[in-house]
Amino acid sequence: MDQIESLRLSQLKSYLKLISISYLSKKTNSCITSDKVDNILKNTYIFNDVVLVSKPRIIKIFPKSDMAIVWINIWDSQSSMKAKSLINRRFNIRSFIATICGANMNLSVPQCKNCWKWGHSSDVCRVQGAKCVKCNGPYQTIHHCQFVWCCKTDDKTNSSRLETKKGEPCSHSFKCSNCKSKHQADSTNCLVTN
């Protein structure tokens, strides 16, 4: 076994989270992304010798909040020396001071299959009843075409809207209930988890 392979075997992952981060930029009103966080970390001296395992993951604290938490996984020694040296340190992200905290292992940010919000699982969801992944309506996704207005014709307004045929999927596009982009709430392209 050569020296490089033994170094890889001796490395473990450490899990950290960055708190007190603004989700929206005051100047441009744009959302913070994994790439922006990655750039900030690369240009911050306390992360000089830190290697990320994967892209940072971002989630808003609450759906209507303008603050976020960022999870980062780093390559570390068996004694977690890098993580220990980073925990409770602070640095600037935009005009906010972010704090680095230790975190439990997080394979990914959980998404509730009941309300489709990120950050919790279905077994702890506080929403009574299911939400539609397409339109966030108060019904299960399999009943979307039966309840939503876009899949039915409207004789009162003589609109040219075509009814979705029974058994066919809805072809209409919606805004994600999490990030307001044009995709379903369960999309891996959701900006909330980037």
Q: What are the tens digits of pLDDT across the range 136-168?
A: 888 888 887 777 777 776 666 555 656 677 777
* Nearest in space to 191 (alpha carbons), one of 30, 17, 25: 30
Cβ count near 128 (within 10 Å): 8
pLDDT of residue 96: 84
Asked if pLDDT for residue 193 goes beyond 60, the answer is no
Q: For the chain, which residues make up each domain, given as ranges?
A: 3-102, 111-186
Question: What is the dihedral angle through the alpha carbons of 71, 127, 22, 66, rounded to the nearest 10 degrees?
Answer: 170
One-letter identity of residue 152: K
Cβ count near 136 (within 10 Å): 17
Asked if pLDDT for residue 36 goes beyond 50, the answer is yes
Tell me how far apart the terminal alpha carbons of the chain are, to the nearest angstrom.
37
Domain 3-102: assigned CATH number: 3.30.70
pLDDT of residue 4: 45
pTM of structure:
0.56
pLDDT bracket for residue 3 (50, 70, 90): very low
